[in-house]
Each structure stands twice: as structure tokens, then as C-alpha cells.
Amino acid sequence: MSTQDFRVARSTRVHRYVLIVSVIVVAVLASFPFWAEVAFLRTMVTFFTLLALAQMWNLLGGYAGLISVGQQAYIGLGAYGLWLLADVLHIHPFVAVILAGSLAVLVALVFAPLLFRLRGGYFAIGTWVVAEVVRLIVSNIQAAGGGSGKTIISAARLPIDTRINGTYLLALGVAVGSILLVYFLLRSRLGLALTAIRDNELAAQSSGVNVWRSKLYVYLISAFGCGIVGAVVAMNLLRIQPAAAFSINWTAYALFIVVIGGFGTIEGPIIGTIIYFTLLQNLSQYGTTYLLLLGVIAVVMATKAPRGIWGFVVKRWDIHLFPVRRRLVLEEPSEPGGPAASTSGPVAEAS
Amino acid sequence: MDWANVAIQGVLLGGLYALFATGLALVFGVMRMVNLAHGDLGILAAFVTLFLVQSLHMGLWWSGILTVVIMFVVGYLLQRGLLNFTLSSDDTRPIVVTFGLSIIIQNGLILWFSADSQGLDAGKIENISIRITDKLSIGWFPLLVFITSIVVVALLQTFLNRTKLGRAFRATSDDREAAELMGINNRHIYGLAMAIALAIVALAGILLAIRTTFDPTQGSFRLIYAFEAVIMGGMGSIWGTLIGGIVLGVSQTLGSQAFGSGWGLLVGHLVFLTVLAVRPSGFFAKTVTA
Amino acid sequence: MSVLELQEIDVFYGDFQALFKVSFAVEEGQTFACIGANGGGKSTLLRTIAGLQRPASGKVLFHGEPVDQIPAHNRVGMGIALVPEGRRVFPSLSVFENLQIGAYGKRKGDWNIESVMELFPLLKPLVKRQASSLSGGEQQALAIGRALMANPQLLLLDEVSLGLAPVVIKRIYEAMVHLVGTGTTILVVEQDVQHVLTVADRVACFLEGRISLEGKPSELSSEAITAAYFGM
């Protein structure tokens, strides 16, 4: 019996094309401030923030298997973080947006050990409790505007063009950043650990994966991402208000996007956001009915097509746009003194 | 500032929380599922009663009883028609589906009834107090609610411990497959468990609606309080849920009294978080089942 | 007509095929033993007969009637009772309640709590105890007793000696002899070949999902059995 040489490969030609296309798309998007209308730019900010939010929610829910219905805590904290850093500490608003995530991480660090004592559905409600606690505390701090909230004065004072364009580019950066963050995370050891945990937590633990720490890192990263999203939203609206900043609707949007687009993939939330956003633009004037419809679609999708649209695509055509999976590539056994030829193509896939 | 009075109010409030919590605990105990729409279903029941009273002009008593029966049936159909299909080894589906359900119910109620606060009128009962001492008086209705919660918990515990069907519930909870081998139809048992849970939460919702005002968005809060009561009480213990509810109620009322009305709820949450930190399995955890 | 007949059944666990076109028959009052190493498909066989698993193809006939589409919880009422691998008594129920649950199907017959206690006197002092606190041997006795409470026509026993001390196995098999004497049809799966051959009328050896040997214990040499067991 001969053993075969092999190497673990990630990219294929498809991936290289995808990379080129992505770079072009991002470049085009980055050029919008030069020629697009203000209203359009502001709409795109909403799109980008939803996309980033969905990626962060999916990181927790789709990859780590931790469904959270309380990420709005960190969105709100990010918004208030912006206010704190920009208005109170007089850091430049654009810089403050990036740093705002840290407030979310600090709070996440406090609550994570408590939350991890819960599992599954109870973990989910636990995250809701955390969001409620944060909302109640923030609403009761009069210095932060209490129940009526605050205006981001330092942002309002920026010249309009700077603010609109800057917010747009920040939002684009956050969206692209969230995708890159998830992408590199999944290619890392932590990503491998997450996949193992998601498949079988007990087995992962016996294989030496520090389950608790892996979950903690993912939870903190997700909180950070949500915090920045919240800060961008606040920049866009110029106003923060506890009821809106900490609203459960954020979870509803993220959940809907991921359920439609696909759990546990990078492509899924992108597709889901596009669909959700299109629906939003056309139906949002119907308010309550729109949310009702979201709920129905979410229930139907989760029951009938739990892997989402992208999951269906993967199953049917086995396409992966982002090379996060590891493939086994068998090499021809080398002749003595001769070079090794490789037969590429997926022989065995490990995700 | 009468602390004893406040504490007793908290205890009585705890009875209502326990009523909301019991169904949640039962469903989790039997099928390891957490129903995120649990609170909303209780509020839905309140609205159903409101509809029966206002639009069909039925008396409150009969409306309430009919609502409980309706919710029993709804629970069975919901479980067998939808939720049974989400129960697999994957933990995430029931959460997503019941969350979607929660959104559907809340927004559906807003569409039908508007987002305004409503109330159920039970007449004089709501305002009668019983004087115990010079400084201590208890509202008749809160006391009634508390007694109801004790009765419900006792009945449920008796049902589980002493009836054939209750035994089947416990066996299914222990080992679903082995229960099948005994001739127990899991899907039917799950349906019954949800039916009972919704009947109880319907009762809770109706009593809440009489006791205070309610609106379509209240369900989320009811869920959170129910959850806190269950976790504090300890999983696997129905009586523990009652104790958990009482602890929560007392924390909230004492917190309100001590720090002002805006802070009562927060104190309740903080007490919960403390219990979670210090004694995560709750006061009366029976079985440590994953 | 045979009590139980399997016709060419294929059973899969996901993508993995556990049984390949397995066929055999068990007659009324017979004690039929299935032996073989781990992974041979024996437990899958019993689970399929009990209804916890469906065959991908082939038929399971009980008294001549096909039962493969009938769900497990209905097969108990028909007279099939399985003592599953690993005992699987209900841990939070007492011994008494475990036996009560065994009678959930309400089949009439000679077995009730008293007669089960006669068969397994070791259970008598444990009646009120929670099943999770019982030892392995006590749990096994309870599991068998629980299945008997359903007054089965066909009793399926899956690895009842697994993980038990020899003296306990001896007692279990003493009870088995008595069971055999009552005329119940028994299909027993065992890794412990020595004990099971003392009670079996017929034996089939399973190897990787197929029957490698079948016949009466008296007619099969121990060399033949060993060869069939290990696939040599």
C-alpha cells in the first residue's frame, strides 16, 4: 500500500475571479461620493450597516451556533460610545466611530461569563436580558440624555459634504471590513475551532479545543462589530435614542437577513441583505405589515429551507465564492528524482 | 414607606410571574425547547378575551374560560403543525422559528387592535383590599392571582407525579426513544405539553390584563420575566419556578421602593444576573440535563 | 406461520449501510440468538424490528403482516417489545413507575408488577427507588421487567449482558431460562456467545451486516461459530 502525498489547498481559479470582481465592485462603490446624490449615499449607508450587522450576527449564530437576540445591546452601546468619544472626549467623530466598538467589547466582557452558563434558547433570552439591562441603565443616566437621547453635536458641526461622504466611506469600510474579518477569522485556527464546536461541542472539547475561550472571542468580536455598526448608524442619523438604539428590531433584521440568505456562510448574509434591502425600499411604508411579512418569511424559510438561499445554491451547484474551506489535493506519487504532479480538484472537502 | 407591604406586593406579583413561567418550564422540561413567543402567546390570549368581551359581548368569566380552551387547542396545533418539525439535533431552529412567531404575533396584534394600551375590566374585584393590620393591606385581586398560581403549580405537579399521562411526560422527557418503545407517541405528547403550557400562559395573560394594562409589545417582557423566574428557580422544578417568580417580584417591588419607580425592573434583572453568577443551576435544580 | 419474518432488508444509518439483504424467520415459542462482533448490525436489526428504524428496502413481517411502515409506538400494542441496548430505564422515574410505564400499551396477559417481581426478586426492595440510583444489573432486570409489562408476543433483547459482572449475568440468564419456559418468542442479541447458546433454539451469526452462519446450536461446532464470528 502506498500513501499519497497531499496538500491542503484553499483557493481555486473561481476564487481568483471572485477576488478581482470584488475589488472592482468595492472600487466602484468607493467612487460614489464623487457623483451620487446625497439621498442615495445615505440609503447606501443603511445597506452597508445592515450587511455588517448580518455578518456579525451570523458570526455568532451561524458559525458558533450561539443564537443571540440581544446584539442590539452592542449596537446601542456603539452609538453611545460615539457620543461619549466624540462629544465628551472631543475625539474626531470619524475616529470615534472606529473606537466606539471598544465600549461594546468592555460591556460584552462583563456579561459573557454569565451568559455562557446558559445554553440554546435560554442563552438567547439571556442575551435579551442583557440588552434590556443595558437599555434600562443607559435610559436612566440623565447625563447621557436619559430617555430622550442625545444629538451627536460634533458630527453635526462637520461640513455637510465631509460628513455625508465620510459617513458613507466609513459605512463601506465597515461592511467590507466585516466581510474580511469573518473571512480571515474562518481561515484561522479560531475558525477551525468554531466549526468543530458547531458540529459537536463535546468532541471538540475532547480534541483540545478550548470551547469556552473560543466562544468568548467570537462573542467579543461580534460585540465589537455591532458596536461599530451602531456608531455608523448614529453618525448617519446624528441622533441617538435608547428606544431605537436598543430596539429588538435590529435582531429581527439580522435574523431575517441570515435566515433568508443562509446561515454559516459569508455569501449568505450578502444575498440576504440585498433581498431584505430591496424589500425594505419597496414595502417599508407599510411598517407593521412589513414586519409581519418578515416574520412569516422567516418562519417559512427556517422551517422549509433552513440553510437559506445560499445554502440551496451550495447544495445544488457546490459553489463557494469565498475560499474559507479546506480542500484535500492529492499529488501523484513522485518518481525518484522527478517533480511531483498534482491532481487538483476537490477530492475530499473539509469545511 | 412600608417595607412589609411592599415585600408582600412583590410576593403576590411573583405569583403572576410564576404563572407565566410555568408553561415555559414545562415545554423546556418535556421537549428541551425554548419558545421565544411564549410571552406573546399569553398576551395574545388577553387580546382574545378582550375581543370576546368587547365584540361578542360575552361576560368576562366565560370569555376567559373559552380563551383558555382556545389556547389549549392552539398550543396542540402549533406544536404538531409547526414546532415539531423544528425539533431535531439542531438547537437553533426552534429559536429562530419561535422568534419569527413572536414578531408575527406582536405585529399581527398591532394591526388588528392597534398599539394602544388596553385593559380588561373585572369590576369591583380589582379594587377591593383586605386589611390585615393598620399598615398592611393586600389587594384582593393580586391575592387571588397568587392563590391561582399556587393551585396551578400544585395541579401540574400532581399531574406529572401521579397520573399515567404525567408519567408519560416524564418518561418522554427522560428518554424520547425509550418512551416510544413503551407505546408513547412523542409527537402527541409534545403537542399536549404545549397545549397545557399555552392554557396556563393564557390564564396568566388574562389575569395580567385584568390586573394592569397591556399592549401588543408586552409579550417580550413577559418572556424575560418568565425566563428569569425559571432560571432562578432551577431547571426541572415546577415549585422552584414559583419561588423564582416570587424572588423576582420581591426584587422588583423592593427595588422600586428603594431607588424609584424607574429602577425596579433593573433591580430585578440584576438580582437575576447575580443568581446566575453565584448559583447558575438555580435554587432547586433537580436534574442536570443538558 | 412464523411470528417474525425478515425478507431481504437493507438498513442504513445515514450513508452507512448496516444490514445487507438480511432474511430469516423466528417461529412461535422459539428463542433465536443473533451473535457477532460489534458493528455486525445486530442492534440495528432489533431497532428495525421494533420500529425505531425503517428498512430502505425489504419487508418485516409480524404474524405474516408487514409492519415496516408502522411507527414504533404502535408496535408495542401489536405485541413487540424491545429491551434496548444500554438498558435505558427512565432515570427520573422510580422502579415502580418504570414498570407502570411498561404497561402503557395496556396489553392483557400474565405479566404484571407482581409477576415481574417474582421473576426478578432483586427488584422487590428497590420498588420506590429512583431508577438512576440502581446498579447496572438492577437496571437490566428493570429494563427486562419493563418490557415484559407490555405482555409481548415477541420479546427483543439487545445485549443484556453488556457491562455486567459475571455473577449478575448468571442471574439474568437464570431469569431468561424461566422466560423461555413460558413460551414467549424471544429474539436475543448477544456478544457473550457462551451464555446465549445455552438458551437458544437457533442461532445466526452476523458479520458486517450479513448473516455468516445460521443453524441449531447443537448442530454447529464451536470452530464453525468462531470462524463465522470473526470472518475467517
CATH topology for the B3-115+137-278 domain: ABC transporter involved in vitamin B12 uptake, BtuC (1.10.3470)
State which of B36-45, B226-235, C56-65 shows the largest mean pLDDT. B36-45
- Would A288 be classed as within a structural domain? no
Q: How many other CB atoms are there within 10 angstroms of residue A188's CB atom? A: 11
**Is there a contact between B91 and A121 if contact means CB atoms under 8 Å apart?**
yes
pLDDT at C175 over 90: no
pLDDT at position C42 over 50 = yes
Domain that holds residue A189: 36-247
Which grid cell is B131?
386589611
In chain C, the domains with their CATH numbers are 4-230 (3.40.50.300)
Distance of alpha carbon A108 from alpha carbon A102, whole angstroms: 10
In this predicted model, which residue has the larger pLDDT, B94 or C194? B94
Is residue A200 in a domain? yes
Helix, coil or strand: residue A262: coil
d(CA A270, CA C196): 61
Inside any domain, residue A29: no
Question: Which stretches of chain A score pLDDT less than 70?
Answer: 1-11, 284, 324-351
pLDDT in the model for residue A105: 95
* pLDDT band at residue C38 using 50, 70 and 90 as cut-offs: confident
Q: Do chains A and B touch (3 or more CB pairs under 8 A)?
A: yes
Is the CB of B164 less than 8 angstroms away from the CB of C97? Answer: no
Instruction: Give B274's contacts (C-beta < 8 A, 6+ positions apart).
Output: none
**pLDDT classification of C51: cutoffs 50, 70, 90:** very high
Of C52, C92, C102, the CB nearest to B182: C102
In Å, how far are A246, B279, C64 from C59, measured between CA atoms? Answer: 59, 54, 10
More confident residue, B91 or A107: A107
Domain segments of chain B as ranges: 3-115+137-278
Q: What are phi and psi of C121, to 5 degrees?
A: -60, -20
pTM of the model: 0.89
**Cβ-based neighbour number of residue B24 at 10 Å:** 29
Subunits with 3+ Cβ pairs within 8 Å of C are B
| Residue of chain C whose alpha carbon sits nearest to that of B182 | C102
Stronger pLDDT, B165 or C197, i.e. the higher one: B165
* Interface touch C72/B173, C-beta < 8 Å: no
Residue A282 inside a domain? The answer is no
Q: What percent of chain C has pLDDT over 90?
A: 53
Task: Give mean pLDDT, residues C9-29.
Answer: 89
- Which H or E run contains A301? helix A288-304
Q: Binning pLDDT at 50, 70 and 90, where does residue C66 land?
A: very high
Q: What is the pLDDT of residue A8?
A: 66
Nearest alpha-carbon partner for B3 in B211, B255, B212: B255
In a domain, A135, yes or no: yes
For residue B125, the model assigns a pLDDT of 67
Under 8 Å CB-to-CB from B233, ≥6 apart: which residues? B21, B25, B239, B240, B241, B242, B243, B244, B245, B282, B283, B284
Residue C74 burial (10 A CB sphere; 0-12, 13-18, 19+) = middle
Question: Looking at residue C1, what DSSP letter applies?
Answer: -
Contact criterion met (CB < 8 Å) for C73 and B167: no
Please state the φ and ψ torsions of residue A345, each to the nearest 5 degrees. Answer: 105, 145
**Per-residue pLDDT, B180:** 94
Measure C111 CA to nearest chain B CA, in Å. 15
Residue B270: closest C-alpha in chain A: A133
Provide the domain count of chain A. 1
Nearest residue of B to residue A119, measured between CA atoms: B290
Task: Give residue A44's pLDDT.
Answer: 92
pLDDT tens-digit readout, B19-66: 999 999 999 999 999 999 999 999 999 999 999 998 888 888 899 999
- Cα gap A228→C10, rounded to integer Å: 56
ipTM of the complex: 0.90
Residue (of A101, A82, A98) closest to A90 by Cα position: A82
Report the pLDDT value the prediction gives residue B208, as an integer from 0 to 100. Answer: 94
Cβ of A306 within 8 Å of Cβ of B93? The answer is: yes
